[in-house]
Amino acid sequence: MRAAAVRVELHLPTPQSLKQKRAVLRPLIEGVRRIGSYSVAEVDHHDTWQRAAIGVAIAAPDGRSMAMQISKLRRYLDEQLEVEVLDVLISELEEPE
């Protein structure tokens, strides 16, 4: 089994309030959950209108499947017009022996 924690730094160019930011993030987070049954949460920049960081937990049976899941996540995020992906940090967790 393979597992990864993915941190995605986002720029949200349109929100002018925290309420508008949530209106952009909520459907994005729900979409990430739907494409791969991932666990997703906003993890940073909670009080900033045009910045966000989300954390995504991914589990896969092997390295090839993990790479496919990460690629699927990245493609989905790159297709979103309301956000700009600034950085993607991937931390793969090692399986204990």
Q: What per-residue confidence (pLDDT) applies to 36?
A: 85
- The mean pLDDT of 70-86, rounded to a whole number, is 93
The answer to pTM > 0.75 is yes
Annotation: CATH topology of 2-91: Alpha-Beta Plaits (3.30.70)
- The mean pLDDT of 63-79, rounded to a whole number, is 93
Residue 42: half-sphere exposure toward Cβ, Cα within 13 Å: 17
Residue 96 has pLDDT above 70, yes or no: no
CA distances from 59 to 42, 47, 51, 77, 96 (A): 19, 30, 27, 18, 15
Q: What per-residue confidence (pLDDT) applies to 19?
A: 93
Report domain extents, the chain. Answer: 2-91
A 10 A CB-CB count for 10 gives 23
pLDDT in tens, 11-65: 999 999 999 999 999 999 999 999 988 999 999 998 999 999 999 999 999 889 9
